[in-house]
Structure 1
Amino acid sequence: MALVASIHVDSGWQMPEINLKDVDGSDVSLASQLGEKGLLVAFTCNHCPYAIAVWPRLIRHAATLRKMGINTVAVNPNIHPDYPADGLPAMAEKIAEWGIDFPYLADETQDAARAFDAQCTPDLYMFNADGRLYYHGRIDDYWKSEEQVTREELIAAAELLVAGENAPQPQHPTIGCSIKWKEID
């Protein structure tokens, strides 16, 4: 596991036109998932300790965001033969085990991760209703233990988005395991 941080991405860029598959093999376009106020795209996986620590918060925050008009989609870029814990069968198990009630999609080609410049799991991107990047930062100020969180950053950013305010600054990078990049032929 290599610890990396997300990289700065300029706010305002348009969400890429991306189609991914869910665990049942159905096509899902990210644009079709936009809520009335926006969409959170979370690059994540099943095996990274950083992602595992954040999953309960992500699931809980997704319910809060949904009430605010912001949908959530999780994207797994680690569909890699060397990491079966992140494969489609394992994703289906985690959906049931963790009660994930939003799309958890497979980025089998890693094209989505490349289009977003995603670096790690988790790596969070929140778009406004027009599909423009509003927030690219961490979920809160302490990934490891929810009990030690002193500042909620994702929810605070969502509240500003819904209120029509400017995005919060600074936006602190997430940290996590590096994406398990496949060799490009």
Structure 2
Amino acid sequence: MKKVIQITTALLLLVVVSAFTNKTEKEKSGYKIGDVATDFKLENIDGKMVSLSDFEDAKGFIVTFTCNTCPYAVAYEDRIEALNKKYASKGYPVIAIMPNNTDVKPGDNIEAMQKRADQKGFTFPYLLDAGQDIYPQYGATKTPHIYILEKTKTGNIVKYIGAIDDNYQDASQVKSKYVEDAVDTLLTGREIKVKETKAIGCSIKV
């Protein structure tokens, strides 16, 4: 009887460890092209909670993990704002999420986010991933890191992952506008050619 209990306990432990490992690995790897992105509810700089489901008329989303303190993210601020102005009215709004640990980067706390958004005149939601739960689900590793989602009957499908374009240093020297090309393609109902690129930016602070 004692041996049976020991075996049962060992099996239960194995199941728990296996489930935890699978969950951890999935969170670490994040979404792949074609995956359904789970909705979230995060605090916006205006104090309101925002979810993707709030945007009933959206055809999809340009989800952008970004922050105030990373030089790469700062270099892309105007281009992120331009993306929202160009595509929000067409059904693809920008949803910006700040993923950093604000104890490590106090310059990214909600007050700093509010100030930066006001200075730059952001027209998109700027959300705080306070519990750092959302960016691991996506698999984001950089600021900025872009995920384009297409809204379908089965959920928000990941269609593009990576960089905004091919030149973070100088917008005038950009040759490939990855995000614009991807959204333009989705709006015409065609298949995106370049579905993944390497995100260039600062590592997310945990």
Decide: shared fold, TM above 0.5.
yes
1:166 aligned to which of 171, 191, 201? 191
Amino acid at match of 2:185: L
1:127 aligns with: 149
Check conservation: 1:34, 1:70, Cα contact below 8 A. Answer: no
1:46-85 equivalence runs, <5 A: 46-85=68-107
1:4 aligns with: none
Richer in helix (by share): 2
Worse-superposed segment, 38-47 or 26-35: 26-35
Report the Cα distance in structure 1 between the residues aligned to 2:190 and 2:159, rounded to whole angstroms.
Answer: 10
Report the Cα distance in structure 2 between the residues aligned to 1:104 and 1:121, rounded to whole angstroms.
Answer: 13
1:90 aligned to which of 96, 102, 112? 112
Report the Cα distance in structure 1 between the residues aligned to 2:110 and 2:184, rounded to whole angstroms.
Answer: 33
1:151 aligned to which of 169, 172, 176? 176
Report the Cα distance in structure 2 between the residues aligned to 1:77 and 1:94, rounded to whole angstroms.
Answer: 15
| Structure 2 portions without partners, runs of 5+ | 1-28
2:200 aligns with: 175
Q: Which has the higher contact order (CA 8 A, sep 6+)?
A: 1
Q: TM-score, normalised on structure 2? A: 0.80
Check conservation: 2:83, 2:94, Cα contact below 8 A. Answer: no
Amino acid at match of 1:30: L
Report the Cα distance in structure 2 between the residues aligned to 1:16 and 1:136, rounded to whole angstroms.
Answer: 15
Identical-pair percentage:
32
Kindly tell me the number of residue pairs found equivalent between the two proteins: 175
Worse-superposed segment, 114-123 or 167-176: 167-176
Larger radius of gyration: 2
Check conservation: 1:62, 1:71, Cα contact below 8 A. Answer: yes
Worse-superposed segment, 36-45 or 8-17: 8-17
Instruction: Give the drift of 1:95.
Output: 1.0
Check conservation: 1:33, 1:73, Cα contact below 8 A. Answer: no
Q: TM-score, normalised on structure 1? A: 0.88
SS class of match (1:128) = strand
Report the Cα distance in structure 1 between the residues aligned to 2:189 and 2:84, rounded to whole angstroms.
Answer: 20
Check conservation: 1:38, 1:69, Cα contact below 8 A. Answer: yes
Worse-superposed segment, 162-171 or 12-21: 162-171
Instruction: Give the drift of 1:169.
Output: 2.5
Instruction: Give the drift of 1:8.
Output: 8.3
Report the Cα distance in structure 2 between the residues aligned to 1:76 and 1:154, rounded to whole angstroms.
Answer: 19
Amino acid at match of 2:196: Q
Q: Kindly report the root-mean-square deviation, in angstroms, between the aligned alpha carbons of the 2 structures.
A: 1.6
SS class of match (2:58) = coil
1:18-37 equivalence runs, <5 A: 18-33=40-55, 35-37=57-59
Check conservation: 1:79, 1:88, Cα contact below 8 A. Answer: no
Instruction: Give the drift of 1:170.
Output: 5.1
- Relative to structure 1, the CA distance from residue 112 to residue 102 in structure 2 (aligned partners, 3 Å threshold; closer, same or farther) is same
SS class of match (2:201) = strand
| Structure 1 portions without partners, runs of 5+ | 1-6
